[in-house]
A and B are shown apart, each in its own frame.
Chain A
Amino acid sequence: MAEQRKVSRKTFVNWLLGTSLGATVVAALYPVFRYVLPPEVAEAPTNRVLAGKLSELPPNSGKIFRFGAKPGILVRTPAGEVRAFSGICTHLNCTVQYRADFQHIWCACHNGHYDLQGKNIQGPPPRPLEAFKVDIVGDDIYVTRGA
């Protein structure tokens, strides 16, 4: 009986020390875990930007513009129509460009091709580029999200 009580006391102390140690480790690691994850920076959502000037965008050309913190691409088709898409390749996050010789959008990183509707037509990109709405006011090209 006495033997049994001795063992259970030892077990109890071990359990107490073990959980205290565990709790100390968790208490030390939790702030570290939270610290390495960067805080959310409150950013006013950008929904409409002045992306460029029509006079600076001849037919069969394209340009990258800033859409908030992300790149977007303006394309003027050979027929003269202006379109806008997200500039981020859906494959692995590179920034796409307009290739006048292909007459469509191309990503240099892994040779992905998109047509003038932003649809992935060749190479590894799995999805089309997000399309934006384009408004032309005089010479100014405005791009709006949620076309």
Chain B
Amino acid sequence: MKLLEKLWRALDERYDLQPLVAFAREKSVPCHRHDWMYYFGGLTLFFFLVQVATGVLLLLYYRPTAEAAFESVQFIMTRVPFGWLIRSIHSWSANLMIASAFVHMFTVFFSGAYAKPRELTWWTGVVLLLLALGFGFSGYLLPWNELAFFATRVGTDMVSKVPFVGHWLLKVLRGGEDVTGATLTRFFGIHVAVLPMVTTFLILLHLAFIQRQGIHVPEGEKPVRTRPFFPNFVLREAMVWLVGLALLAALAAFFPWELGKKADPFAPAPAGIKPEWYFLFMFETLKLLPAKVAGIDGEILGLAAFTLGGLFWFLAPLWDKRRARGERNPWALAVGWVVLLYIASFTVLSFLGVFK
């Protein structure tokens, strides 16, 4: 104890740490009926940290080439002690991170927290969700199995439908005309270097905005009591993280992630192929669209609609001015419910096999 105190005094003397302590003492978080939603951003961060840790561990054995990738993941899962667990946690945590990010986004949307002055927090948040989906998409290919191979063929082909630069983007993403070992190497680089760097920067920015402006309190809940951030809120958040860890450990241990069959570029796409659950609503919609709608290819129309819909969602702070004035906006709520019901119903119906 004496030693720690001495160390603290030495550091404080050199770096003047007292103001930081004072700041931590004063920081507080509002309490109200809906304050449960404040924990989901932190929970998403927790799963991201798990991803970084398990991702680094997987890097010790993983080899990013078409010849060796599948075998190296097989080696991790069958020969490396606890390799199956590390990989299973990495896969499950990715899914839980995206699920938690979705919950976080919808609570922010429904409480109107995106409105002025928090536009940039909303925009960095939506971009972070897109980056998380990018992590999911790029990471999915890395084991080089059959499902991943075709999911990547389909996903990158969608990019080629972008007007003017589509074909150029396709070649940049695939590292050529087709999905090959070159694509795997590129996706690996994107997954372990580009995305982590950009994501870390945006997370820090997102947190800095929240710190600077204070957390949003929904209309109708003001004025509110507050609770100290440290230790009260931190301990509560820690409990949520523990629940997240327990869930993650249970899923990873009882439902280990499958590896599937090695990708064969000259095999037909297997029956029953489908993407990860967070892309299911788009996948089922694309399946339902007819070949031609008013002379336009169905999939181009679908992809254009998803892009415009996403843009509309992203721009919520601009079209919803009423929320910024502290008024209710039934239109915004209706948009939120339509989007939520569409995504949720298509995902659930897909799992139930209704679209077969």
A residues adjacent to B (C-beta < 8 A): 36-38, 41, 64-66, 69-71, 73, 87, 89, 91-97, 107-111, 120, 123-126
**B291–A123 contact, CB under 8 A?**
yes
15 further A-B pairs in the complex, CB-CB below 8 A; given A96-B269, A126-B297: A38-B176, A65-B266, A71-B266, A71-B268, A89-B269, A91-B299, A92-B154, A92-B158, A93-B156, A95-B150, A108-B270, A109-B150, A109-B273, A126-B292, A126-B299
Tell me which of B73-81, B202-210, B252-260, B282-290 binds A: B282-290
Q: Which of B153, B289, B297, B298 contacts A93 (CB 8 A)?
A: B153
Q: Which of A69, A97, A125 contacts B268 (CB 8 A)?
A: A97
B222 to chain A, nearest CB (A): 47
Contacts of A111 in B (CB 8 A): 287
Q: Which of A66, A92, A120 contacts B266 (CB 8 A)?
A: A66
Q: Which of A37, A66, A69, A126 contacts B291 (CB 8 A)?
A: A126
**B177–A69 contact, CB under 8 A?**
yes
Interface centre among B171, B291, B297, B298 (most CB of A within 10 A): B291
- With A70-B178, A92-B286 known as contacts, the answer to whether A124 contacts B298 (CB < 8 A) is yes
7 closest cross-chain pairs (CB), A and B: A97-B268, A93-B157, A126-B297, A94-B269, A108-B269, A92-B154, A110-B287
B198 to chain A, nearest CB (A): 16
B134 at the interface (CB under 8 A from A): no
A101 to B276, CA, bound (A): 28
Contacts of A64 in B (CB 8 A): 266-268
Contacts of A120 in B (CB 8 A): 291
Q: Which of A71, A97, A124 contacts B265 (CB 8 A)?
A: A71
B271 at the interface (CB under 8 A from A): yes
Contacts of B268 in A (CB 8 A): 64, 71, 73, 87, 95-97, 108
Contacts of A97 in B (CB 8 A): 268-269
Contacts of B289 in A (CB 8 A): 124
Contacts of B153 in A (CB 8 A): 92-95
A37 to B182, CA, bound (A): 12
Contacts of B287 in A (CB 8 A): 110-111, 123-124
Give residues 135-166 of B contacting A (CB, 8 Å). 150, 153-154, 156-158
Contacts of B172 in A (CB 8 A): 36-38
**B154–A108 contact, CB under 8 A?**
no
B272 at the interface (CB under 8 A from A): yes
Nearest neighbor of B172 in chain A, beta-carbon distance = A36
A123 to B150, CA, bound (A): 18
A94 to B122, CA, bound (A): 36
B168 at the interface (CB under 8 A from A): yes
**A38–B182 contact, CB under 8 A?**
yes
- With A92-B286, A92-B299, A124-B286 known as contacts, the answer to whether A37 contacts B171 (CB < 8 A) is yes
Contacts of A96 in B (CB 8 A): 268-269
Contacts of A73 in B (CB 8 A): 268
A93 to B298, CA, bound (A): 15
A146 to chain B, nearest CB (A): 19
A-B contact pairs, 16 of them (CB 8 A): A37-B168, A38-B171, A41-B176, A64-B267, A64-B268, A69-B178, A71-B266, A87-B268, A93-B157, A95-B150, A108-B268, A109-B269, A123-B287, A123-B291, A124-B287, A126-B292
Nearest neighbor of A43 in chain B, beta-carbon distance = B177
Contacts of B177 in A (CB 8 A): 69
Contacts of B298 in A (CB 8 A): 124, 126
A11 to chain B, nearest CB (A): 33
A52 to B191, CA, bound (A): 39
B175 at the interface (CB under 8 A from A): yes
